[in-house]
Amino acid sequence: MKAGHMACLLLAALTLLCLASLVSCKKVSGSIPIGEQELPDMVLNDARYILGQEGEDALVMKAGTITIYKTERGTTLEKVSFSRGNSLSGSCRKAVIASDNKHATLSGDVTIHQSDDNNDTTIIAQEIVWDDEENSVLCEGEVTVIYGDGTTIRAEHFYAAFDENLYEFGRIIEGTMEN
């Protein structure tokens, strides 16, 4: 056999081997092809984020990781602590800031504490929606509210307007409110 024929046979065998390996590959279910993945525009570690307009009443959020997307996906913060002035503070495992920068969904062991001349209240839930324009929170699920005098109320569905010192409960599961 001539060297040219041998090279052609070897090339043909390699081509068949490559084709066979391509045919045996299969797409993993649920995976997103690399070209179709939405990659973040920026990832920051140990950084702060200001919800709403920066100023005296801004909600300042400090996070272990901040992932920013320029799309409708918004911004995601992880390992979050936050404060507004000297009267409001809190923490959660995750916060997703809406692209309008006026709303945030706080989730995972959410705790909000407000203490001022009129109020000393702690709100605990697994998920709360923060409305920065209204300075309010809404919880569709279960919430526990602990007042400074020790009164504790567990309820489903809760709304608080901090500027008005207004707290509204849906269905109370445990505890009582006195008028």
> What percent of the residues of the chain are helix, what percent strand, and what percent coil, each to the nearest 5?
15, 55, 30
Give the pLDDT score at 94: 97
Give the pLDDT score at 137: 95
Give the pLDDT score at 54: 66
Give the pLDDT score at 47: 94
Q: Quick one: CATH architecture of 38-174?
A: Sandwich (2.60)
Query: What strands, in cross-sheet order, belong to the sheet with 42-51?
Result: 42-51, 59-68, 75-84, 88-97, 103-115, 120-131, 136-147, 152-161, 166-174
Residues of the chain with pLDDT under 50: 7-29, 32, 179
Give the pLDDT score at 40: 72
Give the pLDDT score at 56: 60
Strands 152-161 and 166-174: antiparallel
Q: Where are the domains of the chain?
A: 38-174
Give the pLDDT score at 35: 52
pTM confidence score = 0.73
In 26-112, which ranges are continuous DSSP H helix?
A: none
Give the pLDDT score at 15: 46
